[in-house]
Structure 1
Amino acid sequence: MAKDQAKFLELCGEEIAPGASVEINLNTATLHTQTKIDVPIIIERAKKDGPTVLFTAGIHGDEVNGIEVVRQLIAKGINKPKMGTIVCIPIVNIFGFIQKSREFPDGRDLNRVFPGSRSGSLASQFAYQLTKQIMPHIDYCMDFHTGGSSRFNVPHIRITGQNKRQNQLAEIFNAPFILHSKNIKKSFRSYCEKNDITALLFEGGKSNSIDNVVSNTGVNGAKRVLNELGMLRSKFKVSSPKNKSVVITQSRWMRASTSGMFKPSVKAGEHVPVGHVLGHITDPYGKVHYWIRSNAAGYVINVNEAPIVYQGDALFHISTENQ
């Protein structure tokens, strides 16, 4: 075998040869109807050895925009590498996708149970299978998410800011923003970091919705990273970034002081000064008029687009320190 020739790869008990295009299934569970629920995994391998990159979406089943990004990577053939291996799991939480729900059927958030357990809850058992059968073979991971509960996220990459290679790839991805945020305990991102997998978490758009700008940002960013890794085939062009990503090191949420009907007056991505009117809360009878003003100068990272809000609901996420 030539020095740079890839070797056989074993995933979910199947041996996958160099140069192969394979779809395998990771069994999630059996329903009460005895119907098996499988998670399709699409694997594309080059004959030449190289890194193994994982694209995931739908860890939260209602985050459809992330699923659309991975779908496009597959449909356009971007996932066929020049070297190495690309593994795509467009829908990790197949249960939630079917139900248009964030959670697993057991009510748990899959992104809070990693690395899982062989005998724990249904979500925990699935996380365990993913971490045992797939993740030991992964070098890099790009995980695509959206905002939840009608909250629209401006396209951005979330990283801790403490990993040099992760910082570099986040800049190469070139989303409009890079947000420094701590890893959440038992999240998929936290698991990746603890197991020396360089992971980028992409956020953009809102749940149960597809936004073309967000999708294009995700696809173009993925192409740039694959190009950096030497895996993108020459037929695909990488667009030159118009601007460097704005790096946000500190941010805060603004919450509703009262309940009522809500209308935001700014969009995600805008820069606002202190005191700028961000939105308006009123009541159905025209008696309450509450204007929400920015308490910091910065970029609006997230906007709640729900028409009805309750006191304490998160309305706007605003940067307070940028690089």
Structure 2
Amino acid sequence: MTHHERKNITILKETILPGESKTINMEIAKLHTMTKLKIPIIVERSKFEGPTVLFSAGLHGDEINGIEIVRQIITQKINKPKIGTIICIPVINVFGFLNQTREFPDGRDLNRVFPGSKTGSLASQFAHSILTEIIPHIDYAIDFHAGGASRFNAAQVRIVPDNSELKALADVFNAPFGLFSKNILGSFRNSCDKLGVKMLLFEGGKSIDINEEITNEGLEGTKRVLHSLKMLNARKKVSFPENKTLYIEKSNWIRAKHSGMFHGLTKVGSFVEKGQILAKISDPYGKVEHILKSPNAGFIINANDSPIIYQGDAIYHISNTTGNE
């Protein structure tokens, strides 16, 4: 039986019929102040049968740019489908969002405890309820992330290597960059994959930050995916960029050879030549200035935005291939 034949979608004992809109609150543990924590799950169903798509963000509570993309999917009514169902969870890790931290209050990275268990740690219990309550209904998903620890990611989609269906979906999303990365054990993406959900992982921007350009990349890609599934609301315009996604097979981190104040000269997403000056690292006293050069030609897919860096810190993530594929 395919997902499409199920007429009813029931999440946390609430049934959403075709043509219905519902916000379901997933209650997780109370805070230590006894305040109830609710995670709103926003469900929009068309009257017509079709795929069910999930848009989620805030798996890491400090990755606000992803949350902003899902928020705009809702405010721009991109989540009202022509056919099928769209489910939005703008903030998965409300605890982290509250504290502006990546982790769950139990110190765990929620993205490493999937599939979780009913009786495990708080993060583990929560992962388990997402997988049992929501994921069985889902055909396609886009999970929105941002770079951690002031490392700014160029807009990119990550998929596992050698999966033609996902590659086709990533082509449709058409982010500036595509990275092949294996599923990490314990990750949401890994669990979704095992349950037959076709998931794209979007990365863009940095934590504790909202960047308009990144938000737009996320929104436009989302509209292209919905358009290709014939789900995009007829009133929404979809744009198709001239450049196709640049897929990166190999990449490496350029690390700082010195500690000091960091002056980046290179824009994320740009192409650099071998030997090009990427940044300067100086001491605070005006004595020393070190120049950082690119070890190879390639695209800069991530840049450190921190003003102070230590020797060995990852500063730029650069691709090793210049051509497509």
2:117 matched residue in structure 1:
117
Q: Distance in 2 between matches of 1:40 and 1:75?
A: 15
Alignment check: 8 A CA contact 1:6 1:46 kept? no
1:228 matched residue in structure 2:
228
Percent identity reads: 55
Deviation at 1:5, TM superposition (A): 8.4
Matched residue count: 320
Taking structure 2 as the reference length, what is the TM-score of the superposition?
A: 0.96
Q: Distance in 2 between matches of 1:81 and 1:197?
A: 19
Q: How does 1:107-256 map to 2 (within 5 A)?
A: 107-256=107-256
1:116 is paired with a residue of what secondary structure?
A: coil
Matched AA of 2:42:
I
Where do 5+ consecutive residues of structure 2 fail to align?
none
Deviation at 1:38, TM superposition (A): 1.0
Where do 5+ consecutive residues of structure 1 fail to align?
none
1:300 matched residue in structure 2:
300
Deviations 1:205-224 (A, max 9, x none): 11111111111110010000
Deviations 1:99-151 (A, max 9, x none): 11111111111111111121211111111111111111111000011111111
1:263 is paired with a residue of what secondary structure?
A: strand
Q: Distance in 1 between matches of 2:189 and 2:259?
A: 34
Deviation at 1:278, TM superposition (A): 1.0
Q: Distance in 2 between matches of 1:195 and 1:251?
A: 30
Taking structure 1 as the reference length, what is the TM-score of the superposition?
A: 0.96
1:54 matched residue in structure 2:
54
1:288 aligns with 2:288: yes
1:95 aligns with 2:115: no
1:45 matched residue in structure 2:
45
Deviations 1:142-184 (A, max 9, x none): 0011111111111010111321111011011111111111222
Matched AA of 1:301:
I
Q: Distance in 1 between matches of 2:113 and 2:36?
A: 22
Q: Which runs of 4+ in 1 moved over 6 A?
A: none
Deviations 1:223-281 (A, max 9, x none): 00001111112111111222111111111111112211111110101111111111111
Deviation at 1:286, TM superposition (A): 2.3
Q: Distance in 2 between matches of 1:223 and 1:309?
A: 38
Q: 1:80 to 1:5 in 2, by over 3 A?
A: farther
Deviations 1:32-65 (A, max 9, x none): 2221111100000011111110000111111111
Q: Distance in 1 between matches of 2:167 and 2:62?
A: 28
Deviations 1:189-213 (A, max 9, x none): 1111122110001111111111111
1:266 is paired with a residue of what secondary structure?
A: coil
Q: Distance in 2 between matches of 1:200 and 1:290?
A: 39
Q: Distance in 1 between matches of 2:93 and 2:213?
A: 24
Alignment check: 8 A CA contact 1:48 1:83 kept? yes
Deviation at 1:289, TM superposition (A): 2.1
Q: Distance in 2 between matches of 1:259 and 1:88?
A: 42
